[in-house]
Amino acid sequence: MWNSKDVYYISDSTGILVSNLGQALTCQFPGITFVEESYPFVRTAAQARDVLKSILRRSGGRKPLVFISILDSDIRKIFNNPEVEYFDVFGALLDNLERCLETKALRVPGFSHPVEGVEMSKRVEAIHYCLDHDDGTKSHDYTKADIVILGVSRSGKTPVSVYLATQMGYNTANFPLTSEYLNQYRLPSALKAVGKKLVGLTTSPEFLSSVREKRYPGSSYAKISTCRAEIQQAEEIYRRNQVPIISSTGKSIEEIATQICQVLDVPKKKVVPVP
C-alpha cells in the first residue's frame, strides 16, 4: 500500500467539481496521505502539455493520480500518459449521456443551467447575511436568520456557515461561545429568542487542540486540557437550552451542513451553484 500519493485536479473551468469528486473518492483511503494540487482553466493543448510536464517533473516517476474534467477530447488525451494514473471525469459519462439522450452535448467549459434572477438574488443576500453575522457580529439581529451555529473558538463555525450560505442559500449566522458564556453556562438573550434556529457544533479535544496549535503554537488556548474543558462546557450549554448537537469530528463541511439541515428540519431550498 502507498503511504502517500500526489493528486492533481485538472479542469478547463474552476476545477471545483473535479476536486470535490476526487476528494470524495480519496477520503475513502484514510491510511494514505494525499498531496493535492489543482490546475484550473487548462483550455489549450500547449497549456496541457506544460501542466503534464510539471506534474511528471514533480512526481518523480511515482505515478500520481490525475483527475481530469476537460471537455475537449484532444486536450484530455494529452494527460492519458503511462506515467500517471488517469481518471477522466467527463469523457465516458458525457459520451454515454449523449447516447441516452440521442443528441450532442454542448461541451462548453464552465457552462451551467441559467439561474433565475430571484434565485441569484437570494444567494447573494445569503452570502451578505453570512458575512455580516460571522463570529457574533450583529448578534442582536437574528430575525432574518435561517440557521445560527454555536461553538467554541476554531470549532468550524465559519466554513460551515459560508457553505450553507453559498451552496444552499441559507441566511446563516454563527456565534462564538467565549469564556464569558462558557463559565456561566448561559446564552445571550438574543440567541434564546431564536431557539429553534440554533445548532451547536462540537468536536474532539484532540482535533480542536491540533487546529488551535497550528494558529497559536504552545499557547494555553491550544492545550488539550483547555479544549476538553471548553467542549464540555459548550455541550452542557447545548443540553440546558435544548440545542441540537452536531459533531464535526472526521466530517467534511458538506456532511456537517447536511446534518444541520436535517436536525433543524429547514425547508429545502434550491441549490444555486457558485459560478
Confidence of residue 275 (pLDDT cuts 50, 70, 90): very low
Mean pLDDT of 20-30: 87
Q: Can you name the CATH fold of 4-101?
A: Rossmann fold (3.40.50)
Confidence of residue 274 (pLDDT cuts 50, 70, 90): very low
Answer whether 171's CB lies under 8 Å from 197's CB.
no
Angstrom distance (rounded) from CA 38 to CA 19: 7
Could you say which DSSP state residue 1 is in? -
Residue linked to cell 441569484: 120
pLDDT in tens, 236-264: 999 999 999 999 988 888 889 989 999 99
Out of 3.30.70, 3.40.30, 3.30.9, 3.40.50, select the CATH number for domain 117-264. 3.40.50
pLDDT at 211 over 60: yes
pLDDT at 100: 83
Confidence of residue 120 (pLDDT cuts 50, 70, 90): low
Confidence of residue 118 (pLDDT cuts 50, 70, 90): low
What pTM value is reported for the model? Answer: 0.63
User: Per-domain residue ranges for the chain?
Assistant: 4-101, 117-264
pLDDT in tens, 10-24: 998 878 788 888 888
